[in-house]
Structure 1
Amino acid sequence: MTDPTLFTRRRLLAVAAGASAALALGFALAGVSPPPISAIPGKRGDRKMLTRTIPSSGEALPMIGIGTYRGFNVAPGSDEYKLLPQVLDELFLAGGTLIDSSPMYGRAEQSTGELLSIHQPRSPAFLATKVWTHGKKAGIAQMEDSFRLLQTDRIDLMQIHNLLDWKTHLPTLRQWKEQGRIRYVGVTHYTSSAYDEVEAVLKAEALDFLQINYALDDRAVESRLLPLCRERGVAVICNRPFGGGGLLGRLRDKPLPGWAGEVQASSWAQLALKFLISHPAVTCAIPGTGNPKYMKENAAAAVGPLLTDAQRQQLIALVG
């Protein structure tokens, strides 16, 4: 029997063709409201993903999501695009929900909206995207475009990308949160050179989320920002969870620690992700991929025991 949570080849080809036609004709598909968050039962539904509570609401959020920076910025009908339905299936079947995008990621928002609009059963996606422009009117126009591309009338998390013109955008985000158009408000950055400004904003403003760079070989966020987020009740999303890309390459030829099996980790990628989500301030990590195999592997990092402090210190020593 065919698993009803998986895309069929026919539906995939249909959405690819439909997306191409929409681009050619210049019209957007109808809006779709995301349903309440829940794990979709499936063949691997017994592997329940760990969750952590969003401090500002008490809502439980699965601890591994997906970033769409490169993997979803692909053309309809391409071989890469045809893999994306299975990527989403792997995320949802594992119990994950968070999909993070941005207007800066090329076609990623549009690809996400197209694929979620045909997902059966209805997707449990926790949609996060960003505003990255100067000026109130430009910010509103950009965010309205995100609603259209994502094919939704509610976005779970709207973030001010790299703090660009944050004082202008934050009042709009708060107003839209009050109106129910967005559920959470946050800010993002990806480099330690901005940490002073990020810290100042966190101290001055009440925010729901901070998205920030954090990896086994990029731990500067641990000294001030992570403790501050715990103090201020701000959820943390980890971007760049494998560092600049060289982390896994450096670890590839090293044997896994003898205790890896005890925490149900079978790869360095899983240990690198477990390192992040084992920090008590971290809510979710969002490794980016357009490969179903890697999505399945990444999602499995949030199954089984988290790391002890001693195990985390052993990983730090291995990285050097």
Structure 2
Amino acid sequence: MSTDSDRSNHDASRRRVLQYGAAGLGLAALPWPLGAAEIDPEAARQSMRQRAIPSSGESVPVIGMGSSGSFSTRSQDTLADLRTVMEHFVAMGGTLVDTSPTYGNAETNIGNIARETGLRDRLFMATKVHIDGRQAGIDQMAESERALGSPIDLMQIHNFIDLETQWQTMKQMKTDGHVRYIGITHYLTSAFEELEHQMSTKDLDFVQFNYSIMTPDAEKRLLPLAADRGIAVLVNRAYNDGRFFSQVKGHDLPDYAKEFDCFSWGQFALKYVLAEEAVTAVIPATSDPEHLADNMHAGYGKLPDTAMRKRMRQTLASL
């Protein structure tokens, strides 16, 4: 039930980008591994690629941040790391944070950190409802609003749970100003048929599903449908829950990756996803500031074209 997690991202290639990636893009104002105070937030905001939410025209940065498996903790030391991650995320141009009441106490931690750091007004908060029953759904969404602050930018029905009931409640919440956008989510390719049906029959602002260079099934129907219907797309599991890094471990990044400003395997995976113009944002999760910097870098510079993406798939298949 998770969105993508960065927990397995420990190969050295994710760290090498911190030494030379910014220089490779000519982004001298963005010293990636350094403290947030040494990063120019305005330069980051202007440089980060952004895409519009079709239903409103509002733009969001293409690299968001998930929280499954990364923001659920009660350890004070870990909370300090998460505070650093959140500060760097915003300083490097990020705004969209995706969470859920099913991710342990992630909502509470995210809300507290956002308030303590004074960053709440700079964040696009996305969460989910994942419960049966009308009143239970109302109560769960109200608790999310208390945890994250009001209004919630995006409320999503998680994994189709009591979909029709929660959809009616969410529409009313949007009308009442408690949420700004509404959508649905899933994380399995086996759910694509139902996702396609819901995308075709409901006025969704957002849809969230799994998509990656290892699992490109969404390219066949969901991404074209989202473009046709004017639905913003959030992508989870871009690293296939770490399996991507297991596959590339011990292999050098191909030299041609520099042609689209890519300096690590992590960026290789994220830039493949972002090359699909129907993708609004990808939301990898991490509690590691260095991995966060690597993820964010994928939102800058060039993206691979169709021919290059084919070459990328061939490279991965050969490993």
Fold match by TM threshold 0.5: yes
Q: Tell me by how many angstroms 1:122 deviates.
A: 5.3
Residues 229 and 42 (structure 1), Cα distance of their counterparts in 2 relative to 1, 3 Å cut: farther
Displacement of 1:76 in angstroms is: 4.3
Contact 1:216 1:243 survives alignment (8 Å): no
Shift of 1:121: 5.7
The answer on 1:298 being equivalent to 2:291 is no
Residue 115 of structure 1 corresponds to 113
Tell me the C-alpha RMSD between the 2 structures: 1.5
- Residue 208 of structure 1 corresponds to 205
Distance in 2 between residues matched to 1:81 and 1:118, nearest whole Å:
12
CA distance in 1, matches of 2:85, 2:121: 13
Aligned partners of 1:258 and 1:111: how far apart in 2?
40
Unpaired runs of 5+ residues, structure 2, are 1-35
- TM-score (structure 1 length as normaliser): 0.84
Distance 1:121 1:127, change over 3 A: closer
Amino acid at match of 2:96: L
Residue equivalent to 1:159: 156
Structure 1 residue ranges without an equivalent (≥5):
1-39
How many Å separate the matches in 1 of 2:84 and 2:310?
A: 35
- The 8 Å contact of residues 91 and 299 in structure 1, kept in 2 or not, is answered as yes
What one-letter code is carried by the residue in structure 2 that aligns with 1:66? M
Which of 121, 128, 131 aligns to 1:130? It is: 128
* Alpha-carbon distance in structure 2 between the residues aligned to 1:240 and 1:276: 11
- Name the % identity: 39
SS across alignment from 1:236? strand
Separation in 2, partners of 1:194, 1:212 = 9
- Does residue 1:43 correspond to 2:39, yes or no? yes
Q: Is the 8 A contact 1:50 1:302 kept in 2?
A: yes
Cα distance in 1 for residues equivalent to 2:155 and 2:63? 18
Helix, strand or coil: the match of 1:106?
coil
Counterpart secondary structure, 1:66: coil
Q: Note closer, same or farther for the CA distance 1:267–1:91 as it changes in structure 2 (3 Å cut).
A: same
CA contact (8 A) 2:130 2:161 kept: yes
Equivalent positions of 1:69-108 (< 5 A) are 69-77=68-76, 79-108=77-106
Cα 1:298–1:168 shift into 2, 3 Å:
same
User: Closer, same or farther in 2 for the Cα pair 1:42/1:178, shift >3 Å?
Assistant: farther
Shift of 1:259: 2.5
Q: Which protein, 1 or 2, shows the higher relative CO under an 8 Å CA cutoff with sep ≥ 6?
A: 2
Q: What amino acid maps onto 2:68 in structure 1? A: Y
Per-residue displacement from partner, 1:255-279 (whole Å, max 9, x unpaired)?
Answer: 2222222322210001100111110
SS at 2:57 equivalent: coil
2:292 is aligned with 1:266 = no
Aligned to 1:29: none
**Runs ≥4 in structure 1, deviation > 3 angstroms?**
120-123
Of 269, 276, 289, 1:279 maps to 276
Distance 1:232 1:122, change over 3 A: closer
State whether residues 261 and 303 of structure 2, in contact with CA within 8 Å, keep that contact through their aligned partners in structure 1: no
Higher helix share: 2
